[in-house]
Structure 1
Amino acid sequence: SPPLPPPVLLAMHPMAPVLSLLLLALLCASPTLGFKQSSPRVRRCSAIRMGAENQFSRRGLFAAGGAAGLVLLSRPEPSLARGGPASAAELERLKVGLGRLNFLLDNFDKETTVCNPDCARSPDVVRSYLGLRSTTDPLFQAEKIFSKAQDNLEDVDDLEDYITASEKYTMALSESNALSYTSAFGEYNPGGGKDAVEKYLEKAREEAVKARDALTDVIRILGV
């Protein structure tokens, strides 16, 4: 008969029940999961830990933990995968980028109009302020900073709001990018013209406002 696959062999091991329960308990004890203390996931984990502690003595858990510990050590920590925490310089980039976005929105018509000598709208300026034109822009790949900065949060209860704000920024960034690009070519598209340029540029501005507001929330939650 063919050999049994590794999962089946593991399930047949006499220590399988101990190792399974121990593994679940230790995984639930990981501080990097980032779940709120009142969440169903955490309540289930608490029950698992209590079950493990009641069924096995503390000494027995440590004695049986060798094999399970090897599995845990082989699992990469989320913080390492993200490369966090974010550095002070990276957090400063977010603040500088927010200041630039505020300047753009306060002076939108002037900043998006170029005269040489005739005046015309320049929707691509919006993409520049959003960090989509140059690697030297403060908000260039800001999403990567958001991911790393999860490890800068002092209160795990802020994680949900932080992720929501980060996602809102990413969505608004994508929309503003697409609308700015459409506006730039609005005059040359079929049925387009200067009215089309203005229409899509205004929509790009509205999305830039959403991005600014979301970035404001991110910075507030981070406390920088």
Structure 2
Amino acid sequence: MSAPEVIPLQPAFYNPQARLCAECRVRRFALFGALDEAALEHIHGQIAEIRLAPGESLYRMQQAGQAAYTVRSGVVRLERTNERGERRILRLAGRSDTVGMEAMLGQSYAADAVACTEVMVCRLPRHLLDELTRDQPALLRDMMKRWQRALDDADEWLTELCTGPARRRVLRLLLKLSEFAEHDEEPVWLPARQEMSAMLDMTVETASRLISQLKREGVLTAHGQRSATLHMDALLQTLRDENLDAGA
């Protein structure tokens, strides 16, 4: 007689949101990746899933910060508009990134957060984060790492995407956009030329001319106005050539 088959028991989740958190594909990369199943079951009722269409706002600059958000899918831009009505896009956030962390300190949001694509986020209310960081030291460390990463991203954006020759800035932006694709050769979101202007501190005409040029050179293939396939070998070689020319 053969031994009976052993079937491993699965965690028993009594709430759909707790199960969703446990099975989420980005959980191990996201803020709550350090939490076990028991902790997820405890907090399930306080986490909300929010879906945004392109152009919808997640929160506004100077709005009282009540929650942070983990991006589950899509791309979110953080932007500010000055008193003269000039818009600057400060950085982009994608899958597993956390935005709105200033809410943890009771501060107002420092920028507008706007969906660039269809976006899905999980809302993490401030009082829940306060409670969890008291009881879960690993979570507090993870939050500090994420805050540092957001600062590093902002510094990189300033040094790599807002300085130097315009063509190199566009190439570096395309390389950055490739990070938001889940798979190689997957089409990426392509910003409108006005958005490129606000990201890269260049005119709309310059952004349009350079994108058209890179299409002809085989660096990207556009699919309509808002998505493109990046040909990474060509992109990386063109960027290397651009760096060599700049250093010559």
**TM-score between the two structures when normalised by the length of structure 2:** 0.25
From the two aligned structures, give the one with the greater strand fraction. 2
From the two aligned structures, give the one with the greater helix fraction. 1
**TM-score between the two structures when normalised by the length of structure 1:** 0.27
